Amino acid sequence: MKILLTCAQYIRDPNSYKSKVDLFSSRLRIYIRMIQRDAGVNDEIRYGYFVPLIQVMNWKWGILTTDELENVMKDHLRGLSNRLLKLLLKQQAPGIYDENLPRDPEAYIIPPPSIFGLLIKDTVAAIVAYEPLSSRDKIRVVAYLHFSSQTHEAWNCLSLAIVAAHCRNNMVKVREALQAAGLYKPVIKCDDDYDVDMVPERDL
């Protein structure tokens, strides 16, 4: 929570040398990496062996309409969703096309959990979700959090923490299910490995 509260303070600082969006998103990403480490999957996510269930996305394409922005977000979360479905398939089939992925929960080791995106624009964070097995190819808005007001700062940070903790618990469930099925690929770090993100964050 301390990182999130610091993030909320930075975003209202008019003398900051960085843009509010950059400060906001960078702090959120640090927090999410902590969540991923706690779930024991951060290195696997960095190397592309595991699927993140929550990601921070910046809105940098100011000319986008609301519908266009929704489509960009939907495409990105759908891509993560399809990776998750392939990861959790009971019968692994290399090269399976996304459109052929089954929608029956019984086809998977465990029911695939929701994937969340945090969209940052100015001082507002929108929490959106994509349901991997839903017949509707749409994202749903979970909440809009306004960090420009100090009045709701603690509640906004708590809301983000709850969503992040939910994703952390689901990442643990996915990891344990893959381990039980003998499908988990843990990353063995070498001595010369250094702690940088190898999978780029998504900026919109």
With contact defined as beta carbons under 8 Å apart, do 77 and 138 qualify?
Answer: no
Amino acid at 67: D
Beta bridge partners of 119: 57, 126
pLDDT tens digit sequence for 60-96:
656 777 778 788 889 999 999 999 999 999 876 666 6
> What's the pLDDT at 84?
95
Share of the chain above pLDDT 70, in %: 75
Q: Cβ atoms within 10 A of the Cβ of 137, count?
A: 11
Mean pLDDT of 52-57: 91
pLDDT tens digit sequence for 112-156:
999 999 988 777 888 999 999 998 888 999 999 887 777 777 888
pLDDT tens digit sequence for 9-41:
666 665 654 556 677 788 888 889 999 999 999
**Rounded distance between C-alpha atoms, residue 118 and residue 126, angstroms:** 6
> What's the pLDDT at 197?
42
Of residues 92 and 183, which shows the higher confidence score?
183
Task: With both helix axes pointing from N to C terminus, report the angle between 2-11 and 153-180 in degrees, rounded to the nearest 10.
Answer: 130
Q: Which residues contact 13 (CB under 8 A, 6 or more apart)?
A: 23
> Which pTM value belongs to this model?
0.83
pLDDT band at 190 (very low <50, low <70, confident <90, very high): low
Using alpha carbons, list the distances in angstroms from residue 8 to 2, 4, 154, 155, 187: 10, 6, 9, 11, 34
